[in-house]
Chains A and B, each alone.
Chain A
């Protein structure tokens, strides 16, 4: 993952101890400083010889605060990064994973102490530490600390690029459901305040809510997820490029149905995922203040609901939708049908051909708003047909198989 290779005669750890000791005692005068520097170097040497890496980490980190605040360093960031990288390298020397974890905990405690001061540098060092660690648990611990540091130090830009690999990180760490939940929530909170990250924010809310499976273990914690469930619903309704989700199937979202405060928000989600424009218009006329309160724009909701209604038509009609059905469902004029079809195609939620002569739309593919058991059953039957087609093709090939020999070239031409 990461490797640090010595390029000097002197052991880098001793060089760091000497450098930091000289810096610490610089004001005391040569006669006082020299014995102190020597004492620290001897102590460090003893730790190295006895392979007491945890003590060595404590000794080296003791001066880290001084370094972080020092004004004497000409190239402070570069020197600091070097010192901290060499301290981090101690985890590779540890005799056990427990010792490596203890060293990592010490380093993390020091780096997360004042998150506002040089957060990017601190994060860079934490990333190096992560890559040097061997234990999956220790890696998960360091990543969580990096998340907390990024949030506290307002350095989201440094951590957000790592979110795209979060699933592979989690499978590598092998962490439990509760730890995953905390991680997703922390990531979602970081993304919430970022401009242009709405889709990613929704994805992490989705991941967070999916960790509640309705089991007895979740009974206490599921109540805390109400705010996030509402946020996910609002993000879905607001978004102009989300037309499918599994929120309805989630216990964390389903609990809102019986909640006095959020019952209407759940109803709104149900309308967007299972009903058509007329249902939305009824809801809007009765609850316009609620929609405004959540920052939902009525015109945008109508646009999205029209596209959702078109998807509903596609799933119910057997491949062909007549113009009049679209006009009724979308509440539009005759001349607007093709505009909405083109809009649906450009949103990549529909693939179809327009038969203007017969006034029908021939649908070849549509996005499923919700993916439940009926969709799985339909998928099974389609796959069954294709499996049969391929089997039949193999039989045809085998029946027609000929050798390259010219005398047998005609064999099989008359088969079937």
Chain B
């Protein structure tokens, strides 16, 4: 019987309380899975990052470590792992080993052996799993920490405990991601097109909120004051502008933008003419 999805219950003394993973790490893992050797069922590798003062493990980078796996043993290319780490460490000394990743759903039998190896590299490493097989219909991404269950001096089992995982993308990363996620990009949007798409998204969001508030006022939906206060604070943080003032302000900004577009296109035309004249002069 598989455990259901849902928030985990963490005991306060747990060393790593949570993990934060940058989008580039997930991208790296998926990319390495697509490029894996034919016979390999999964890919594993090292996670690099840092441990924040509150115990959160911030994963910022990763690299694949070649390995061979059979039901009873796992062979890791340790030399490759150390060379890669040394190279990464030269470029970014602040990024240290914080754990390891594996593709596939949940924790498998061989995971304890690999985790033992990483436990010798770093104290209490985290284990990140990315379900590239979409076992449950989505790419389930989970982080675990492990503790040994010993009876006397006998090591009986390893307990992998899930920890909360934060996968939020930074605003700056989102801009690039929105362009990259579409399969074909004919050209990058210019300032005006970018502004238009942002405004359209904003309009959809405000319209959705407006409809909810309207439903509350008209008695179609029961009011949730927590949501009301939240929206109210968000609206209050915006400057008070009359529609006419906003219109003028925005229009001035657009005109400035268009003036820049015009000047840059004149410059481009000028350079193009100069190049052609230069070529003609050389021919003559």
Contact = CB atoms under 8 A, between A and B. Distances in A.
A387 B203 contact: yes
Nearest to B115: A5
Contact of B3 (A12, A131, A161, A246): A131
Nearest to B4: A134
Interface string A353-390: 00000000000111010010101110110111111111
Given A85-B159, A158-B11, A412-B258, A386 B214 contact: no
Given A3-B160, A7-B112, A365 B3 contact: no
A159 to B, nearest CB: 9
A392 to B, nearest CB: 6
B6 A1 contact: yes
A71 interface: no
A406 B269 contact: yes
A2 B159 contact: yes
Interface string B222-260: 010100110111011111110100110011001100110
Contacts of A392: 243, 246-247, 250
Interface string A142-163: 0100100000000001100110
Interface residues of B, number: 78
B7 interface: yes
B75 interface: no
Q: How large is the interface on A (under 10, 10 to 19, 20 to 34, 35 or more residues)?
A: 35 or more
B118 to A, nearest CB: 15
A84 to B, nearest CB: 10
B235 A15 contact: no
B27 interface: no
A390 B203 contact: yes
A396 interface: yes
Given A85-B149, A134-B3, A4 B12 contact: no
B155 A8 contact: yes
Nearest to A245: B225
Contacts of B229: 244, 368, 371
Interface string A1-22: 1111111100010011001000
Given A7-B112, A365-B233, A410-B262, A389 B254 contact: no
The 9 closest A-B pairs by CB, nearest first: A406-B265, A365-B236, A172-B6, A409-B262, A409-B265, A82-B149, A1-B3, A371-B225, A12-B156
